[in-house]
């Protein structure tokens, strides 16, 4: 990963079981001094604030999430507040964060929390897993960040830190593997509070220092122990890393169609949607996809609106 003053540690022995004990203290100490002051990290955010942030931060940078998050929590400070609204209002408030199905899933989770758990995000890790739209990562993140529990929290940043520091490769696989999950569990501190801090600290290290490009090795607290740096930072030798394109894609067309519907507080005619994209076949495909995903509701007379139920 990165570099720090002092003699380098011996590189990990090939085939040896990884031991995270020598990583925990320096990474957590670095986090205590360098963690960003983010609203979902404050005590008043609670489990609901953490859950909202985790939905919003998927594939979306913090800078774009912050204003939407703050508006969302001001409007819907508890799950029951969101559950009482039509799902289309969640899509409208989602704005231009992208991947708007996340808004529907978050609304569905709020409804389930209200109906099954009295309006409070459950603390038991298994219970959020049973909520709609919540997978292993989100359940572990809420349990760890909101309740201080001991869970491996594997997002892209954490996976990159572990790949470099322990495995000795530049990038993790495109999709999370069973081996990565085993490694994350092996590296998890035994003490519950320390494990929760480790989860947050390793994530922040990947976000601020051990970044995908232009990593700041001179600022890294575990540079002297980093297997990738000690190996001379070998170039990525795995499958090509997937790049994200947007211009001209169906995603862009879907975004333009949703923008019209978000700005309108009454059903809009087909003609209003036709004006946002010049290519009729792609436009129709994008609109059909939005309807199929439950993000747009067709009405008689060729009208469309955000979902009401």
Residue 70 has a CB neighbour count (10 Å cut-off) of 11
Q: How far is CA 98 from CA 43, 60, 104, 246, in A?
A: 28, 8, 12, 11
User: In the chain, count of helices (H) and strands (E)?
Assistant: 15, 3
Helix (H) or strand (E) holding 297: strand 297-299
**Active site annotation includes 54:** yes
In angstroms, how far is CA 171 from the centroid of its own chain? 18
User: What Rg value do the Cα atoms of the chain yield, rounded?
Assistant: 22
Whether 184 contacts 162, CB under 8 Å: yes
Catalytic option among 44, 54, 190, 279: 54
Q: Which residue has the tokens 């309108």?
A: 264
**Catalytic residue numbers?**
54
């Amino acid at each position: 990963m990165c570099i720090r003053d002092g003699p380098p540690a011996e590189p990990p022995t090939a085939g040896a079981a990884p031991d995270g004990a020598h990583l925990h203290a320096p990474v957590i100490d670095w986090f205590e001094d360098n963690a960003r002051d983010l609203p979902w990290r404050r005590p008043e955010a609670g489990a609901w604030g953490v859950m909202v942030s985790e939905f919003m931060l998927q594939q979306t940078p913090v800078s774009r999430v912050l204003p939407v998050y703050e508006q969302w929590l001001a409007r819907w400070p508890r799950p029951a507040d969101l559950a009482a609204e039509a799902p289309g209002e969640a899509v409208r408030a989602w704005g231009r964060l992208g991947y708007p199905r996340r808004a529907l899933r978050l609304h569905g989770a709020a409804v389930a929390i209200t109906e099954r758990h009295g309006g409070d995000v459950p603390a038991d890790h298994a219970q959020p897993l049973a909520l709609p739209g919540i997978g292993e990562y989100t359940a572990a993140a809420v349990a760890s960040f909101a309740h201080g529990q001991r869970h491996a929290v594997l997002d892209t940043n954490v996976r990159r830190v572990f790949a470099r520091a322990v495995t000795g490769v530049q990038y993790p696989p495109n999709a999370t593997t069973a081996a990565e999950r085993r490694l994350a569990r092996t590296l998890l501190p035994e003490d519950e509070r320390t494990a929760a801090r480790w989860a947050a600290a390793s994530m922040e290290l990947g976000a601020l220092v051990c970044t995908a490009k232009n990593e700041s090795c001179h600022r890294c607290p575990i540079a002297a122990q980093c297997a990738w740096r000690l190996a001379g930072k070998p170039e990525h030798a795995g499958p090509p890393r997937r790049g994200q394109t947007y211009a001209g894609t169906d995603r862009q067309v879907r975004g333009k169609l949703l923008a019209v519907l978000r700005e309108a507080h009454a059903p809009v005619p087909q003609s209003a949607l036709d004006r946002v994209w010049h290519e009729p076949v792609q436009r129709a495909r994008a609109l059909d996809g939005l309807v199929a995903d439950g993000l747009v509701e067709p009405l008689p007379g060729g009208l469309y609106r955000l979902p009401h139920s």
